[in-house]
Amino acid sequence: MTSIKLAVIPGDGIGQEVVPEALKVLAAAGPAIGADVKFEQTQYDLGAERYLATGEVLPDSVLAEIRAQDAILLGAVGGKPGDPNLPPGILERGLLLKLRFELDHYVNLRPSKLFPGAASPLARYQGEGAGDIDFVVVREGTEGPYTGNGGSIRVGTPAEVATEVSLNTAFGVERVVRDAFARAQKRRKKLTLVHKTNVIVNAGKIWTRLVAEVGAEFPDVAVDYQHVDAMMIHLVANPSQFDVIVTDNLFGDIITDLAAAVTGGIGLAASGNVNPDRTTPSMFEPVHGSAPDIAGQQKADPTAAIGSVALMLDHLGYAEAAAAVDAAIIADLNERDGAPRRTSEVGDAIAARVAG
Ligand code: NAD
Ligand code: IPM
Ligand code: MN
């Protein structure tokens, strides 16, 4: 009997609605995973409610427990907009980013694929164009402007100054670039670096140098470069040209919301915060947030959370079960007739297909 310890953090807003659907599908995938494999789930009530009730965001003891798990499934974090008791950043930095940093999730993997049946706002990709868009963003997950390296002085005065320094280390850039090249080599052998080297010059140099140096070890992978602003054009005008995109933490955050929008919507976009060295549990979560505008109404699409389960299964070595979940998602998308479905209806439909 193989026992896999899974930390489940539904979090806030629609996280509470989509995670149960993802777990439904994980349960349905049991036979495909193997009769001798058991997921031992531990639920963690981290998020806005716990913070507002107790002041706790991620106690050290809870972090230590989570560190001892084999994988993490997360819904979303983020409280009600404008809540004076929950300023922006408390949960995002103190919970989500703390997990990514502490667990050294240096590869933030965000695949984008236009499945048949998914509606792209790019009309010409609907119908026979479906399937043309298939790229993966390898977003650096532990550095960039996300580290909290900065501060404010003279706050609230006309002389206020704020800095948010982007941290880029050769160690950190090299390891994520190497991972991206390895992925490209197994795919269509094309890697695109996205940055803003014409303005963010110092960080740009380190990324450019390491892509060239590591690239020399992957001579069969073609390399190109796009400035992040022009990338907004290319992702809309000709997204099928991309294979693997490697970029820093902030650029990767931004381009993956756009990537989701052009491939059927944010409700379909799955992600993995991966530690490729496997020294810590990797964490799987939809790209979207807590969506307070639709929370509690069973309107959220759980497909992104379910796709995150597929990424998790693949990471844990259950490639066949992961493929079965992906196939069920594709079949479900194909059969959508456009009528809105409740969150649980989508989960039920995909779980039924997985159970087959
Ligand atoms: P969001 O992703 O929560 O929502 C953006 C838009 O997409 C909203 O209109 C929302 O209704 C829609 N949407 C999101 N997920 C959907 C789904 N599954 N099905 C259908 N529609 C969906 O982004 P936001 O509004 O910028 O952020 C809300 C909160 O979430 C903020 O507090 C933010 O910090 C947090 N956030 C958390 C994460 C995370 O936990 N990984 C990610 C992004 C944002
Ligand atoms: C995401 C989110 C997070 C990020 C926030 C909530 C910290 O937008 O997962 O894309 O910026 O990485
Ligand atoms: Mn984001």
300 is in an annotated binding site: yes
Record: fold of 1-106+275-356: Isopropylmalate Dehydrogenase (3.40.718)
* Residues contacting 166, CB < 8 A, separation 6+: 143, 144, 145, 149, 200, 203, 248, 250
Query: What value does the mean pLDDT take over residues 280-294?
Result: 98
- What value does the CA radius of gyration of the chain take, rounded to a whole number of Å? 20
Condensed to tens digits (0 to 9), the pLDDT of residues 178-187 reads: 999 999 999 9
pLDDT of residue 108: 98
| Residue 253 near ligand 2, beta carbon < 6 Å | yes
What value does the mean pLDDT of the chain take? 96
* H or E element in which residue 261 lies: helix 249-262
297 is in an annotated binding site: yes
Name the token pair of 113. Answer: 């694929």
Condensed to tens digits (0 to 9), the pLDDT of residues 76-125 reads: 999 999 999 999 999 999 999 999 999 999 999 999 998 877 878 876 66
257 is in an annotated binding site: yes
pLDDT of residue 130: 58
Express as a percent the part of the chain with pLDDT over 90.
91
Q: Are strands 161-164 and 150-153 parallel, antiparallel or unpaired?
A: antiparallel
Name the token pair of 327. Answer: 């196939």
Whether 44 is catalytic: no
ipTM above 0.95, yes or no: yes
Label residue 225 exposed, middle or buried (CB < 10 Å: 0-12, 13-18, 19+): middle
* H or E element in which residue 164 lies: strand 161-164
Q: Could you tell me what percentage of the chain is helix, strand and coil, using 3-state DSSP and rounding each to the nearest 5?
A: 45, 20, 35
**Tokens 């933030």 map to which residue?**
108
Q: 36: CA distance to ligand 3 center in Å? A: 37
pLDDT category, 54, cuts 50, 70, 90?
A: very high
265 is in an annotated binding site: no
The residue whose CA has the least distance to atom 23 of ligand 1 is 289
Query: What value does the mean pLDDT take over residues 2-28?
Result: 98
| Residue 27 near ligand 1, beta carbon < 6 Å | no
Would the pLDDT of 260 be above 60?
A: yes
pLDDT of residue 129: 60
Label residue 35 exposed, middle or buried (CB < 10 Å: 0-12, 13-18, 19+): exposed
Q: 342: CA distance to ligand 1 center in Å? A: 17
Sheet holding 2-11, edge to edge: 37-43, 2-11, 71-76, 282-286, 270-274, 107-113, 134-140, 244-247, 190-195, 222-227
Condensed to tens digits (0 to 9), the pLDDT of residues 126-144 reads: 655 656 899 999 999 999 9
Give the nearest ligand 2 atom to 100 CA. 12
User: 255 with 79: CB under 8 angstroms?
Assistant: no
Residue 344 CA to residue 125 CA, distance in Å, equals: 29
- Dihedral pair phi/psi, residue 285, rounded to 5°: -160, 150
pTM: 0.97
| Residue 63 near ligand 1, beta carbon < 6 Å | no
211, HSE (Cβ side, Cα atoms, 13 Å): 25
Task: Give the residue, out of 142, 253, 254, with the most ligand 2 atoms within 8 A of its beta carbon, to mutate for a pocket test.
Answer: 253
User: Of residues 196, 248, 314, 318, which has the active-site annotation?
Assistant: 196
Would the pLDDT of 317 be above 90?
A: yes
User: 76 with 44: CB under 8 angstroms?
Assistant: no
Indicate the SS3 state at residue 315: helix
Least confident of 14-23, 127-136, 207-216, 250-259: 127-136
Residue 300 CA to residue 288 CA, distance in Å, equals: 10
User: Of residues 12, 104, 248, 253, which has the active-site annotation?
Assistant: 253
Domain map (residue ranges) of the chain:
1-106+275-356, 108-269
Would the pLDDT of 61 be above 80?
A: yes
Residue 238 CA to residue 240 CA, distance in Å, equals: 6
108-269 and 1-106+275-356 share a CATH fold: yes
Q: Are strands 134-140 and 107-113 parallel, antiparallel or unpaired?
A: antiparallel
Label residue 169 exposed, middle or buried (CB < 10 Å: 0-12, 13-18, 19+): exposed
Least confident of 16-30, 145-159, 283-297, 326-340: 326-340
Ligand nearest to the CA of 11: 1
DSSP state of 144: B
Record: fold of 108-269: Isopropylmalate Dehydrogenase (3.40.718)
Residue 284 CA to residue 46 CA, distance in Å, equals: 16
Least confident of 54-58, 111-115, 313-317: 111-115
pLDDT of residue 126: 61
1 vs 211 pLDDT, higher one: 211
Condensed to tens digits (0 to 9), the pLDDT of residues 155-199 reads: 999 999 999 999 999 999 999 999 999 999 999 999 999 999 999
pLDDT of residue 105: 98
User: Of residues 45, 83, 224, 229, which has the active-site annotation?
Assistant: 229
Label residue 344 exposed, middle or buried (CB < 10 Å: 0-12, 13-18, 19+): middle
